[in-house]
Structure 1
């Protein structure tokens, strides 16, 4: 089964002025497409892996389920494909974002004391990630929320390798320079602050419900 670049659930300018249309176009059609192409390329050489979905491929990273000759390519490109497929869906036009509510808000307040405190800790994880990587909010095995940061295209599904707490992501932020440099240059904290204004909290709530039910959102 070949992997495909998913269509965005909005147009490239929908996140303006916080995430610019040029960045979104390049990020989606160039960077994400390259991860898909590279992943399909390695899976063509290992057809026994083609029936694994993107979640299972990411969970297999760092285990003996992946052939050594394929492991690094799948880690980088399978991670990139999963991470970006997840990332596009948790953003929306700024007019549609109203902050967390319901069960996900209650879970955030239980874990961090307040939504503001969660955002402060998340921002710190995103801003302090050296080089390229991601910041994540996820549900741990005990049902509580935690924040993690991963390098490159790693994610918490790769717990065997990444050194992070095993958890199911419900919110994630790309802090690779290609995600923000055209608009924000080296001002990563400014990009992080602006990004909260396009978070799709309804999708985060759906992700939380899925994670609680034992399903990994894509």
Structure 2
């Protein structure tokens, strides 16, 4: 049995200043190393809040989030930041590629922040089909290429957990299918656990299993 990477136990998050009105409540999840899960839900249901709780960017008001054996509620700001930098990768819908940096520099960034050698950058760029774009700036790339930069950057430091927030939301269907296949293959190659948050059942179908997010928890979706 692969070790658990992330556990959520009866996790709830209230609206700020709402005096007990909850955005999400009763969240239960066990994510094992190498497992790839899709979480679907309508806009506004709390998918981004869920990712923030998983990453320790937000603290649960009820229950407990445990990442690699650490209770996130017990981590101070510095410890939580270090944990995210070293052990978590993010793929964003809006790419968040730094415009002033080249493709190579964007992908190298997590290695530089963690004091790691940059030997893996060119092989990673080749793996995502961007070896010939290493010196380009983001303004010279298509949406699909920028998303590939985002995936490469999220995985370059070999995190144990990858969080992908609507990574195909800005892409056409053909490019989206390419990105989903790439994301899944890179997760498999690096051994990272992955959470794909999306409103698209087509995107969710790429995952090992699908959960539906509601205000009262995560429910399995039959394929």
Looking at secondary structure, tell me which structure has more strand per residue.
2
TM-score normalised according to structure 1 size? 0.26
Looking at secondary structure, tell me which structure has more helix per residue.
1
User: Larger relative CO (CA 8 A, sep 6+): 1 or 2?
Assistant: 2
